[in-house]
Amino acid sequence: MGRKGLAAVQIINDTKLTNKMLDSLCKYIKAVEYKEGDAIMRIGKPTEAALYALRSGTVHLKGTTQDLVMDKVGMFGDDMLDLDAKTGKNGPNDSTKVNAPYSVVVTSPNVVVGVLLLKDCRKVFDTIYMGKGLPSKDDSIRYTQAKITDFTKHTILGAGTFGQVWLVSREDSMGEQRVYALKIQSKYELVKNHQAKGVVHEKNIMAELHHPFVACLIASFKDETFVYMLMDMVQGGELESIMHSETGDELSNDQAKFYTAGIVEGLSYMHRLGYVYRDLKPQNVLISNEGYPVIADFGFAKYVTQKTFTFCGTPLYLAPEIILNRGHNWGADHWSLGVLVYEMLTGFTPFYEEHMDQMELFRAIVQDKVHYPSSMTPEARSYITGLLQKNPRRRLGSGSHGLEELFWHPWLKDIDFAKLRHKEYKAPYVPVIGDPLDASNFEDWSSMEDKSDQKYPKLKASEAAVFDKF
């Protein structure tokens, strides 16, 4: 069953999954063979909630209101997929078994069925919303004729080589002011620095992502000079400001576990859709108004099927295989996570020493062992050690249990990830936010000029065409 077949299933269609989510679900569909007389399920008996699609042969489905023979175009089990939506529970330890609503018995030799388990659906999206529709991005923007001129700029939140991020507001249909973060980038600067295709790629990736711990793209705009990405406003500042504050440069074990769990949730969501992030660091993890981590800045993110060889990222957090140009995939993000967790618990990264130049740092990353302080718990040390394996094949998250290794490890065993995902934990730090326009948790950029007031040379037609798909 492919993307179109899945999308045709009513409960899947009603969930409003993105194409990348549908593609990811397709990878979890497994072909199962049955012999004539086998019972796939018995009415009233416990069975795994799953969607079944006949690929060959026939089966007899009989329930209290149904009695029919299905052939290779038949499908059943979809009425069991709403288990999590009914119970409101979809954590790693929550059961995916239901009492079968009917009996299904194989009536021909060599029947093959494509099976998509509910437990695998949990790996791709929040199954609490199965059949209900995922929480929508800001429909007041996405489905109206909003224009970039509708937004009022207030404060610069960040700046880079190609543009700035502004806190902006817009009056909604009820007359209330809603705030957003607006990333404004110069087309000319992007073309000049060979980053034009990259920003189009970044925008298209963000449009596919839909997770509470991943920055949300609401809309995009463009004009002759600039491209714009409108995102949810995350007002708590950067994780770095919590890690390195006036009170110290390290977090407690429980604080580090909380932020790690949220990052693992968001990062694993991206990985299941096939994206490698490639720039995990404290500056790229924002803190939401409720105190939860939100992964942001997808300039280096890429869709990968096996390996990619691009050298990119931030030196302190680079995996050995990137430095050695041996090809990398999602395991490179797990290495960066290990560096970040170590930094949260100690206040410094594991390989850098004072006055090191970049080549010395790279040598240390590739060759040196990690030294752990005695104050670190054995469970935390084990988690970091698993992530900082030089050989990516031996790294935590790359073993026989895949991404689940990141969730099941003893260091995070007391985290209820379903509860975390629905923000039912009290965060260790909740940012102080005075009002919707409060940007005090970010660096002060008030002395910087508005780059959108600058004049840039006109692009050639061939250069401007790169932005057609933005």
Instruction: Tell me the helices (H) and strands (E) count for the chain, helix number first.
Output: 17, 19
* Rounded Cα gap, residues 281 and 297, in angstroms: 11
AA identity, residue 237: G
**Separation between Cα atoms, residue 258 and residue 221, nearest integer Å:** 35
Q: What is the CA radius of gyration of the chain?
A: 25
Pull the structure tokens for residue 135.
Answer: 């929480």
Instruction: Match 């502004």 to its residue by tokens.
Output: 166
* Amino acid letter, residue 451: K
Give the residues across from 226 on adjacent strands: 186
Pairing label, strands 302-303, 275-276: antiparallel
- Name residue 50's beta-bridge partners: 117
Give the C-alpha distances (Å, rounded to integers) separating 405 from 81, 257, 298, 318, 343. 25, 15, 25, 21, 21
**Cβ 171 vs Cβ 147: under 8 Å:** no
Whose tokens are 């006109």? That residue is: 458
How far does Cα 4 stand from its chain's mean position?
A: 23
Active site positions, annotated: 279
Q: DSSP readout, 253-309?
A: HHHHHHHHHHHHHHHHHHHHTTEE----SGGGEEE-TTS-EEE---TT-EE-SS-B-
Token look-up 């065993």 returns 413
For residue 434, give both structure tokens.
Answer: 């005075």
> Angle, nearest 10°, between helix axes 19-28 and 196-208?
70
Contact 84, 123 (CB under 8 A): no
Tokens of 180: 């957003």
419 is in an annotated binding site: no
Tell me the C-alpha distance between 96 and 89, whole Å: 10
Would you give the distance in Å from CA 101 to the centre of its chain?
34
Using CB atoms within 10 A of its CB, is residue 72 exposed (0-12), middle (13-18) or buried (19+)? middle
Q: 49, 162, 58: which is closest to 100 by C-alpha?
A: 49
Half-sphere exposure of 102 (CA within 13 A, CB side): 18
The Cα 257–Cα 341 span in angstroms is 8
* Binding site residue list: 183
Which parts are annotated binding residues for ATP?
Answer: 183
